[in-house]
A = this chain, B = another copy of it.
Amino acid sequence: MSITTGSSSDTKNKETRSVFFISDGTAITAEVLGHAVLSQFPIDIIAYTLPFVATVDRALEIKQKIDTIYDTTGLRPLVFYSIICQDVREAITASKGCCQDIVQTLVAPIQQEIQMDPQPIFNRTHGLSKRNLSQYDARIAAIDFALAHDDGVSLRNMDQAQVILLGVSRCGKTPTSLYLAMQFGIQAANYPFTADDMDNLQLPAALKPHNHKLFGLTIDPERLSAIREERRENSRYASIRQCRMELAEVEALYRKHKISYLNTTNYSVEEISTKIIDSLGLNRRMF
């Protein structure tokens, strides 16, 4: 999937479609959902993401671009949009694209079910308002917490942690704790087991009172070795033998202390985070 702007020289191939993600906000939801829809079709796309489309003039410029692509290629661009202001929206829907409103499509059935009229709110998904400011501040505080308690930097304030991730170096602890903070406002600390710990692997005394918050990460030795090679080529640290030994040790520790754990090899940070929330029964706070 390539993201280009302006050039239409690649659009002559019959199997390539131009796709527009247009929003009066960040266009992140339009992108995510549009990609979910498009990934089901065997086509190549040229994607144009256009956030903060707030004026009729700007919308008319975009309409012109959509129309030009259609006139040149004979293929209607696919348009995923979310725009509250009616005039701006209508400039887009008057284009020659195949236009779909990603949010309003789902509003009508709800409107009928609850017998109330919707009141569209500008920048509702990824914006700041007085309504959600304290929730937003909680997300930022959670990011601060994750950074202050990354890689065992500090084992103080563990009572404030909602989850404490354990694992060897480069198994995914840091990205996961940052994602938990960023997306869900969850305060996550993480503690690394290093090669030096392996002779007599113990759970640090400071973590023992928090057994119910501990969550272990593990990973396939081959994948860990490849990741570590990127960092320190041909090192003992990255050797498959070392990776295998460290992982066997920590997995034994997880089992001994009855700590829930997950093999992260085939999962994204989104999936790992969601599984941790599920496993520990954490409150999945929305931003």
A49, closest chain B residue (CB): B284
Q: What is the size category of the interface that chain A forms with chain B?
A: 35 or more
- The listed residue (B31, B270, B285) touching A28 by CB distance below 8 A is B270
Bound complex: CA A98 to CA B257 (Å): 44
Instruction: Please give, as numbers and ranges, the residues of chain B lying within 8 Å of A25 by CB-CB distance.
Output: 271
| A268 within 8 A of partner (CB) | yes
Instruction: Please give, as numbers and ranges, the residues of chain B lying within 8 Å of A141 by CB-CB distance.
Output: 230
Number of copies: 2
Known interface pairs A29-B33, A52-B275, A178-B178; A106-B110 also in contact (CB < 8 Å): no
Instruction: Please give, as numbers and ranges, the residues of chain B lying within 8 Å of A178 by CB-CB distance.
Output: 143, 178, 182
Bound complex: CA A114 to CA B270 (Å): 31
Min CB–CB distance A91 → chain B (angstroms)? 19
Instruction: Please give, as numbers and ranges, the residues of chain B lying within 8 Å of A100 by CB-CB distance.
Output: 106, 109-110
A119, closest chain B residue (CB): B40
Among the interface residues A35, A40, A76, which one has the most CB atoms of the partner chain B within 10 A? A40
A77, closest chain B residue (CB): B113
Bound complex: CA A36 to CA B42 (Å): 29
| A27 within 8 A of partner (CB) | yes
- The listed residue (B35, B51, B150, B287) touching A125 by CB distance below 8 A is B35
| A179 within 8 A of partner (CB) | yes
- The listed residue (B31, B40, B140, B270) touching A120 by CB distance below 8 A is B40
Bound complex: CA A33 to CA B103 (Å): 7
Interface residues of A in 237-287 (CB under 8 A from B): 266-271, 273-275, 278, 283-287
Min CB–CB distance A32 → chain B (angstroms)? 6
In the complex the two chains form, is B271's CB within 8 Å of A26's CB? Answer: yes
A265, closest chain B residue (CB): B128
In the complex the two chains form, is A26's CB within 8 Å of B103's CB? Answer: no
Instruction: Please give, as numbers and ranges, the residues of chain B lying within 8 Å of A275 by CB-CB distance.
Output: 51-52
| A215 within 8 A of partner (CB) | no
Bound complex: CA A41 to CA B283 (Å): 23
Instruction: Please give, as numbers and ranges, the residues of chain B lying within 8 Å of A34 by CB-CB distance.
Output: 106
| A187 within 8 A of partner (CB) | no
Could you list 9 examples of A-B contacts with CB < 8 Å?
A29-B36, A35-B125, A37-B107, A40-B119, A41-B119, A78-B113, A98-B109, A175-B182, A182-B269
Known contacts A35-B125, A51-B275, A127-B270; 11 additional CB pairs below 8 A are: A26-B271, A28-B183, A29-B32, A37-B107, A39-B121, A40-B121, A42-B119, A105-B105, A128-B268, A175-B182, A178-B182
